[in-house]
Amino acid sequence: MYVAPKYINREISWLDFNARVLQEANDNNVPLIERLRFLGIFSNNLDEFFQVRYATVKRIAQSSKTGKKVFAGRSATVLLKEITAKVIKLQSESLEILNGIYQEMEAENIFFIDHNEVQKEQEAFLKNYFIQNVNPALVTIILSNTQNQDLTDNKAFLVVTMEIEEEGGPPIYALIEIPKNTKRFIVLPKKSDGKQYIMMLDDLIRYHFHMIFSFFNYKKIQAHMVKITRDAELDLEEDVSISYVEKITMSVKDRMISDPVRLVYDNEIPEETLRFVMDKLNIDSTDGLIPGGKYHQRRDYMDFPSLDRPDLLYSSIPKLPIPGLSLEENILDAIAKKDYLLYAPYQDFSYVIKFLREAALDPTVKSIKITIYRLSKASHIVSALINAAKNGKKVLVQIELQARFDEKNNINFAEKLEAAGVRLIFGIPGLKVHSKICIIERIQQNKNKRYGFVSTGNFNESTAKIYTDYTLFTANQKILKEVNKVFNFLEVSYKLKKYKHLIVSPHYSASILSKLIDQEIENKKNGLPSGISLKLNNITNYPLVDKLYEASQAGVKIKMMVRGICCLVPGVKGLSENITVLSVVDKFLEHPRVLIFENGGEKKIYLSSADFMTRNIENR
């Protein structure tokens, strides 16, 4: 008899989520160029998965622990094999989808050409492009038989094999790093017949081997791509003599030479060449070896050019108004009268920036406090905060330097903010600050009045165009008094605060969420309106999963929208038959966290920056 598992393994659930992303690339209802971009998202997701989750499983497998407790009954060693098999299958599917998209693009008069298909009239353009834009950025390494290479960062390389003229001489091997800051797709001038040709950067490099390797008298040359992914875990030194910023900076640099966790290779590469390269790069057969196609670094499809073909792209949507708010009128005065809920990108994220710009200039505003987790590369948020500091406002910024893959960006902004007179705090040792909150203090009629906003997402105008998130603007003094308590705790962490309106990790979330679910169970037993609706990115915390199972068994109806990882198993009789789970993967990335409890007919609704994950509940 089949018995359904109580939990779905976190890593397997994540791979299933990424398979749903891949489905978008295979969906004929999605515009053609957008399908290519979904393929890039799929590949980028997989890169991060190997850098973070796979690396974690590998570390546990190499230790004396089995990992069964955290991996839903699987040992780490078994899980590594299961992940590798599943990834190989997904990679194979993605290649089939990519080839299908290429065929459909030809029907749209868009053609990809490789280094063997260059036409005479295209040679001059490609040669000039290579000389001006590519050749200066190339890093080419000749691999010797005696010296190994520690290649930094997570990069793709062309492995070049040259057979030299001397009879019986050994082949010469070289690595060419694919430049990250050079366009991956070279769009050639459109021909008079309307045909649009595109060449991959990799093939442009192949086409110019005769220039790159002019020093070598070779009779045959071939190249295959490999890609290395490294462990992204930060290892912070305990040295008390250096600053927190210095520790993060050093750890980010160390990440570039951390242990490899995956090698993706062209499945056409000769075995002896692959073995030679693995030996030179210090990669053993226990690392994740994933066969692939001719091209790697497919995350670059995320930035595939639009080609002036709006018919092959998602249509833009007009921004919905927020009745009562205007980008042309004073936003603080409007918020003083009532709360407003912004839902980006359907409504304009510019209201957040306008709030801060007004605060920077308004002579009645005395202080601004804000938490920062991820920022856009050219952040208007930071500009507004610097402007405020220069105008004499007291500006306090809690900036999280350990926001994964944004460490460098945040360190750079921290230095700019500090130079402008902004007071920085870096949270509490051992805890990331994931809150998305802001509060300003304004003197009105000789009284101190607070205004602010809380959000489910980052204060990042770039991702706000493609991530859905809620932001609540409020002048509710009871709520903002508690928001201010959060900032006080971040500054003086040994003094615990009590909250009535906020649920704050790591001290209160687990217990309060459990009590809220218990209340729904009690309401169901007493015949009162009951029910739970949850919109989350991920749910991995087993105690909360168990509590939801308990509510389901008591008859409480639970509706869940979970975009990514879901360790909960819905619809199992006697366990979770009253729980339904839906995942939405579409044009925009579903990012809000919303918790709704029926509460006997008087609904309690929470916006959250936290998922039902142990790290969010206990470690942030």
Residue 249 confidence class, pLDDT cut points 50, 70, 90 = very low
Q: Which of 317, 315, 323, 314 is nearest to 346 (CA)?
A: 317
Give the per-residue pLDDT at 426. 84
What is d(CA 406, CA 234) in angstroms, rounded to the nearest whole number? 12
pLDDT at 247: 42
At 276, is the pLDDT very low, low, confident or very high (cuts 50, 70, 90)? confident
| Cβ-proximal residues to 171 (8 Å cutoff; 6+ apart), any chain | 161, 162, 163, 164
pLDDT above 90: residue 20: yes
Q: Does the pLDDT of residue 245 top 70, yes or no? A: no
Q: What pLDDT sits at residue 159?
A: 80
pLDDT higher than 70, residue 149: no
Mean pLDDT computed over 114-142: 93
pTM here is: 0.86
3 pLDDT above the threshold of 60: no
For residue 484, the model assigns a pLDDT of: 96
The whole-chain average pLDDT of the chain stands at 88
- Mean pLDDT for 193-209 is 93
Q: Which fold has domain 331-491?
A: Endonuclease; Chain A (3.30.870)
- Give me the pLDDT at residue 366, please: 97
Q: Are strands 467-474 and 532-536 parallel, antiparallel or unpaired?
A: unpaired
> Which residues fall within 8 angstroms of residue 167, CB to CB, at 6 or more apart?
none
Q: Confidence band (pLDDT; 50, 70, 90) for 462? A: very high
CA distances from 360 to 367, 442, 444, 455 (A): 9, 11, 16, 20
Q: Could you give the 3-state DSSP secondary structure of residue 402? A: coil
- The residues assigned a catalytic role are 434
For range 459-484, the mean pLDDT: 96
Distance CA 58, CA 288 (A): 10
What is the C-alpha to C-alpha distance for residues 150 and 228, in angstroms, rounded to an integer?
11
Three-state secondary structure call for residue 31: coil
Burial 163-182 (b: 16+ CB within 10 A, else e): ebeeeeeebbbbbbbbbeee
Of 203 and 74, the one with more pLDDT: 203
Domains 331-491 and 509-618 share a fold: yes
Whether the Cβ atoms of residue 397 and residue 422 lie closer than 8 Å to each other:
yes
The more confidently predicted of residues 347 and 190 is 347
Least confident of 17-26, 286-295, 362-371, 514-523: 286-295
Confidence of residue 286 (pLDDT cuts 50, 70, 90): low
DSSP string, 549-580: HHHHHTT--EEEEESS-B-B--S-TTTTTTEE
* Residue-level pLDDT at 234: 41
Q: Which residue has the higher pLDDT, 412 or 315?
A: 315
pLDDT of the residue at 399: 87
The region of weakest confidence among 330-344, 401-415, 435-449 is 401-415
Spatial distance between the Cα atoms of 41 and 34, rounded to a whole number of angstroms: 10
Residue 154, pLDDT > 60, answer no
For the ranges 53-57, 393-397, 437-441, 473-477, the lowest mean pLDDT is seen at 53-57
| Contacts of residue 326, Cβ cutoff 8 Å, sequence gap at least 6 | 334
pLDDT in tens, 311-327: 999 999 999 999 999 99
* CATH 3.40.1000.10 is right for the domain spanning 10-312: no
Report the 10 Å Cβ neighbour count for 442: 19
Where exactly are the structural domains of the chain?
10-312, 331-491, 509-618
CB 407 within 8 A of CB 373: no
CATH number attached to the domain at 509-618 = 3.30.870.10
